[in-house]
């Protein structure tokens, strides 16, 4: 059965939908990709080798490393990834010349064209660093204290920073959502029947009406969650504003399809090593996945299990594992009932990867 998306609604900046007839590994792949792999324009300031921020003057109470970290946390609302990096530079210069505490905010940011040596129009800058849609306030960057004497001037900040591209996998500062979650779709009919059974027992035990009402509320808060529809999930996403919600879903699915396409190319090019498995199982093989984790691994694992373990019964074991989060490689272990050639294993891997691509393509069609 083909996967489908239903009940697609968007309210208060949150998009919600139900996706069914699909395994949890696919849905979790979308969630993991949105949370960690959506590319964004970013200010990279962390390490000395990669730092793009040059602080010329900083007399605020924050030392330079905190200033750089705060700068990196400010989202850059530009979806065109090729527009800013290498072509524009951020400049910030503000001094407190008042008698009160002053705030340097994203409203004070200027964007300079490196080719023409001119500044971007304020209206364009406001699109890149917009105010909050509810309060109208800009993001507070640094608090600047006023002068306290002729010799101790008001605090001042002056810096410049080049634009780069990164994602939340490199640093969670570059996250694109404030909400991205899914759960099993509750089967109301099954939950109601379960409660009717519980209620009948409570009444036979002599429980009073007030206690039954309380237990009913308690049941529908928690235990009703156990009665769910198989392979059906309720998904919720809320963007922080760089991309809209549908764009995030489209991009995540495109990235997953790219991963699967590259996986097929690596299998064809013999880039993925297929080795005899370090196991007591007969006809066991380990396939090393390079620079991949559970996002891709569990999807491939599911389809291998579904097609070659459950349906065709060629395998008697399939499993995926990344031994340590810092490892750059992970392992897909398969064991066949009969001895097979490595080319057969590669063909099986390509077959299931194409199945995965087909399913994600069908899911993606609902968000266009």
Asked whether residue 256 is domain-assigned, the answer is no
Q: Decide if 75 contacts 110 (C-beta within 8 A).
A: no
Residues 136 and 193 in one domain: no
Report the candidate in 174, 232, 220 with the shortest Cα–Cα distance to residue 196.
220
Tell me the three-class secondary structure of 66-84, residue by residue. Answer: HHHHHHHCCCCCCCCCCCC
Check whether residue 205 and residue 315 sit in a common domain: no
Asked, for residue 14, whether it belongs to a domain, the answer is: no
Same domain for 268 and 164: no
Residue 161 sits in the same domain as residue 202: no
Q: Same domain for 350 and 283?
A: yes
Tell me the two tokens of residue 169. Answer: 């996998």
Domain limits at 279? 262-367
Question: pLDDT at position 368, please?
Answer: 87
- Is the CB of residue 320 less than 8 Å from the CB of residue 294? yes
pLDDT at 127: 96
CA dihedral 135, 136, 141, 147 (to 10 degrees): -100
Residue 123 makes CB contacts below 8 A (sequence gap 6+) with none
Cα Dmax for the chain: 88
Pairing of the two strands 177-186 and 156-162: unpaired
pLDDT for the residue 253 = 98
Does 257 map to a domain? Answer: no
In a domain? residue 251: no
- 217 with 168, same domain: the answer is no
What does the DSSP 8-state code read for residue 356? H
209 and 127 within one domain = no
| 65 plus 122 within the same structural domain | yes
Residue ending a domain, choose from 199, 226, 253: 226
Question: Which residues are paired to 314 by β-bridges?
Answer: none
In this prediction, the residues of the chain whose per-residue pLDDT falls under 70 are none
- pLDDT of 98 reads 92
Structure confidence at residue 72 (pLDDT):
97
Strands 274-276 and 284-290: antiparallel
Do 201 and 147 belong together in one domain?
no
Residues 138 and 68 occupy one common structural domain: yes
Residue 98 located in a structural domain: yes
CATH number of the domain within which 354 lies: 3.30.1360.10
Same domain membership, residue 151 and residue 52: yes
Q: Report if residue 13 sits inside a domain.
A: no
Give a yes or no: residue 306 inside a domain.
Answer: yes
Q: CATH no. for residue 154?
A: 2.170.120.12
pLDDT of residue 278: 84
Give the count of domains, the chain: 3
Flag whether 25 is in a domain: no
Whether residues 316 and 207 fall in one domain: no
CA–CA dist 80, 326 (Å, integer): 31
């Amino acid at each position: 059965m083909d996967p489908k998306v239903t009940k697609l609604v968007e309210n208060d900046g949150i998009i919600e939908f139900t996706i069914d007839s699909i395994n949890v590994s696919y849905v979790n792949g979308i969630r993991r990709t949105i949370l960690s792999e959506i590319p964004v324009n970013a200010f990279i300031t962390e390490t000395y080798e990669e730092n793009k921020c040059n602080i010329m003057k900083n007399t605020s109470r924050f030392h330079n490393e905190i200033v750089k970290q705060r700068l990196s946390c400010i989202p850059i609302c530009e979806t065109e990834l090729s527009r800013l990096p290498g072509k524009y530079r951020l400049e910030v210069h503000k001094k407190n010349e008042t008698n009160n505490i002053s705030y340097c905010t994203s409203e004070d940011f200027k964007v300079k064209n490196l080719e023409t040596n001119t500044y971007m129009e304020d209206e364009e800058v406001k699109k890149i660093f917009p105010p909050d849609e509810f309060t109208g306030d800009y993001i507070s960057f640094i608090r600047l204290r006023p002068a306290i004497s002729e010799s101790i001037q008001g605090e001042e900040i002056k810096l410049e920073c080049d634009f780069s591209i990164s994602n939340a996998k490199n640093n969670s500062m570059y996250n694109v959502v404030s909400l991205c979650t899914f759960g099993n779709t509750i089967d109301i009919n099954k939950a109601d029947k379960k409660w009717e059974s519980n209620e009948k027992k409570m009444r036979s035990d002599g429980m009073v009406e007030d206690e039954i009402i309380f237990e009913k509320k308690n049941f529908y808060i928690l235990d009703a969650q156990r009665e769910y529809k198989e392979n059906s999930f309720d998904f919720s996403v809320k963007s922080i504003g760089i991309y809209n919600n549908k764009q995030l879903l489209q991009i995540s699915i495109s990235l997953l399809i790219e991963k699967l396409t590259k996986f097929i190319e690596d299998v064809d090019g013999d880039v993925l090593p297929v080795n005899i498995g370090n196991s007591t199982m007969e006809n066991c093989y380990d396939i090393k996945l390079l620079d991949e984790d559970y996002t891709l691994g569990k999807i491939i694992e599911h389809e291998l299990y579904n097609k070659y373990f459950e349906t065709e019964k060629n395998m008697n074991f399939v499993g995926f594992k990344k031994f340590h989060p810092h490892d750059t490689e992970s392992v897909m272990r398969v064991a066949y009932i009969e001895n097979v050639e490595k080319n057969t294993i590669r063909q099986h891997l390509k077959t299931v990867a194409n199945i995965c691509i087909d399913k994600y393509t069908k899911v993606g069609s609902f968000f266009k």
